[in-house]
Amino acid sequence: MPDYGWLFDPKRCIECKACEAACKQWNGVSTGSGIHYRRVHNFVHGVFPRVRANALSMACNHCIEATCVKVCPTRAVWRRADGIVLVQEEKCVGCGLCVKFCPYEAPQVDQARRKMEKCTMCADRIDAGLQPACASVCPTHALQWGRWDEISHQGAAQVEDFSTPVLTKPAIRFVTEPWTPS
C-alpha cells in the first residue's frame, strides 16, 4: 500500500499550468525536450451548443500495481517502501516498454539520452518534509497531495477521460461532489 497519493478536483482546475511549470523547474526538466512529468489535459465533449470541457492534471500515479515496474526488463523502474515509483537511470536502456504499458502516459523516453523519465512525486522534497512542487503551487487547490490512508477513501477512483484504475490501482482519487468555495 502506498504512503502517499494525489487528490484532484477537476471542477477547481483553471488550467493555469502552474503545476507543470513548478514540476519542470524543481526537477530541472528542460523546456523544448518534449518531456513533461506533469501535464494538464483539456478534454472537450459534445457539439455546439452543448459543449463541456473536462480538465485533468496528470502525472505518474505511483500505482499499487504499476505496470511500468512489472514490464521493465532491466528492473530500472522500482518502488520505494513508501510506494513512490522511481527510475534508476543507470539501469534504463530506453526500450520504451514502460511507455507502452502505462495507461496514464506517465513514462516518457528522452530520445536524445535514450532514458526513461517520469514524475518522481518529488521524492527529494517528501524526504525533506515538503510536499511535491506541483501540489504546493496550485492556486485553487485542485491538485492536492497527502497521506494515502487519508485520501484513498475520498471521491472516486475514476472520472471521465481517466483510464480504468482496475488493473493498476493508481494512488489518485477524484473529488466528484459539487464544490463550494471555502
Q: What does the pLDDT read at residue 1?
A: 58
Tell me whether residue 181 is in a domain. Answer: no
- Tally the domains of the chain: 1
Can you list the alpha helix ranges (DSSP code H) found in 40-156? 67-71, 97-101, 123-127, 133-137, 148-151
CATH number, domain of 137, equals: 3.30.70.20
What is the structure's pLDDT at 181?
45
* Domain region containing 25: 4-174
Does 180 reside within a domain?
Answer: no
Residue 105 CA to residue 175 CA, distance in Å, equals 21
**pLDDT given at position 178:** 56
* Residue 83 falls inside a structural domain: yes
Instruction: Give the residue from 33, 51, 53 showing the smallest Cα distance to 43.
Output: 53
Residue 64 to residue 170: CA distance in whole angstroms: 6
The x, y and z cell numbers of residue 158, run together, are 475514476
User: Is 53 inside any structural domain?
Assistant: yes
Cβ atoms of 145 and 132 closer than 8 Å? yes
The answer to whether residue 94 is domain-embedded is: yes
The reply to whether 179 falls in a domain is no
Please check whether residue 44 lies inside any domain of the structure.
yes
Around Cβ 6, how many Cβ atoms within 10 Å? 26
Mean pLDDT by 10 residues, the chain (182 residues): 88 95 94 90 89 90 96 96 96 96 94 93 96 97 96 90 90 78 44
- The pLDDT, as a whole number, for residue 80 is 95
Runs of H (alpha helix) within 6-56: 18-27
- Output the pLDDT for position 162: 86
In-domain check, residue 169? yes
In the chain, the DSSP E strands lie at 4-8, 39-47, 50-58, 77-79, 85-87, 108-110, 115-117, 143-147, 172-174
List the grid coordinates of 119: 514524475
